Amino acid sequence: MAVTVSLVLLFGLVLFFLLRSKSLGAGSAFIAVMFGFFLASTGASAPINELTSAVINAIPEL
């Protein structure tokens, strides 16, 4: 839960700055989609949350 809230805040902040700087491109589209998935309670959010948790858990083992 704490990871999801942190990611929502992170993606929201990045999206805010991308929109403010009028930076358009594939990167901003990815950030917007990720922000939407984490913010919304859809059926796709559970697999995305699991994937994100797996990546976060794998980072210390690198």
pLDDT tens-digit readout, 1-52 = 556 667 777 877 887 787 788 776 667 778 777 777 777 766 767 787 788 8
Q: Is 51 exposed, middle or buried (0-12, 13-18, 19+ CB in 10 A)?
A: exposed
- Predicted structure pTM score: 0.47
